[in-house]
Amino acid sequence: MMPGCSGDIDGISILVGTARCNANCRECAGRQHRKSAPQKDGELDIARLTQVLRFCHARNCHYVTLTGCGEPTLSPVSLTMVLETIRQFTLDGIKFDPVNLYTNGIRIGTDAEFCDKFLPQWHWLGLTSVYVSTYSDNPSLNADAFRVNAYPSFGIIFTRLKDYGLKVRASVILKNGYTDTPEKFQALSERFFRMGVDNVTAWPLKDEDDSISPLAPSPSVLTVINEYAKTSNGRIRVLLGDSRTKESLARKIALFQNGEISDVWCARK
């Protein structure tokens, strides 16, 4: 049933929702998995999800990441169904913690009605943190990277999430032309912390085979960024490609929308 999973598992990434995205990144990590995504929000195999969560719990899995091959907030019905399933485990005495959601932040920053309707509900169902993926702390540069007309204000995105009791982690994609020097990364981190962000994670842009992209900053720049992160008392984490050994990958698995399991893909999100 599950490949390469004889030992413990630390966490599971669950791909949720349709293939739709409100951005169009040049190096989209999800594009290769879009054919396995459902056509409609709300199409979800709850029995398979429950089976895989049970399997993970039996292997001491403690955290859940909700992500997608598109933008998960565009599939709020599916996301709610997944969170309700996780909540049922909590009611049965099995707690997955933390439960994190990845998003590009665009819908959160532009759709107040959506936030009012879903964020309190998701928090109540057990969502712990929201990881806002970003290329830069400059909204114009971010719009360029996401290939959208405009990227919303970070202040609005972070405030809406914090107002509903959610923790916020900025997930920074290090790419040349955007956040590509230690100085820019330090300025971004300090600015985001002042705006209420709890944590920052950064990782170099990856290619489809999970190797570091030639469009990512050089290894020497990444080293300095990592040194800076080490001074942050754990608030900043840098995920360098070479720290991801096969062994560490095997401790995380991903569940795709078609019910398949992988122990490789989750390194990218």
User: Which residues contact ligand SF4 (rule: CB under 6 A)?
Assistant: 21, 23-25, 28-30, 70-71, 104
Q: Which is nearer to ligand SF4, 23 or 66 (CB)?
A: 23
254: closest CA among 101, 89, 56? 56
Q: How far is the CB of 88 from ligand SF4 (least distance, A)?
A: 28
Tell me the closest approach of the beta carbon of residue 70 to ligand SF4, in angstroms: 5
Q: Is the peptide bond before 98 cis (omega within 30 degrees of 0)?
A: yes
Cβ-Cβ contacts under 8 Å for 133 (sequence gap 6 or more)? 102, 103, 104, 105, 171, 173
**Cβ closest to ligand SF4, residue 32 vs residue 258:** 32
CB of 104 to ligand SF4, least distance (A): 4
Closest distance of CB 267 from ligand SF4, Å: 14
Identity of the residue, 226 or 262, whose beta carbon is nearer to ligand SF4 in the bound complex: 262
CB pairs under 8 A, 24+ apart, for 54-57? 55/1, 55/2, 55/5, 56/9, 56/12, 56/253, 57/89, 57/94, 57/96
Alpha-carbon distance of 106 to 181, in angstroms, equals 25
Nearer of residues 31 and 244 to ligand SF4, judged by Cβ: 31
Shortest Cβ distance from residue 20 to ligand SF4 (Å)? 9
Q: What are phi and psi of 156, to 5 degrees?
A: -65, -45
CB of 54 to ligand SF4, least distance (A): 28
Q: Which is nearer to ligand SF4, 39 or 220 (CB)?
A: 39
Closer residue to ligand SF4 in complex, CB, 55/135: 135
What b/e string do you get for 226-261 counting C-beta neighbours within 10 Å, with b at 16 or more?
Answer: bebbeeeeeebbbbbbeeeeeeebbbbbbbbbeeeb
Give the Å distances, CA to CA, from 221 to 53, 70, 185, 202, 268: 39, 30, 10, 13, 20
Q: How many Cα atoms occupy the beta-carbon half-sphere of 50 within 13 Å?
A: 11
CB of 29 to ligand SF4, least distance (A): 5
CB-nearer residue toward ligand SF4: 96 or 265: 265
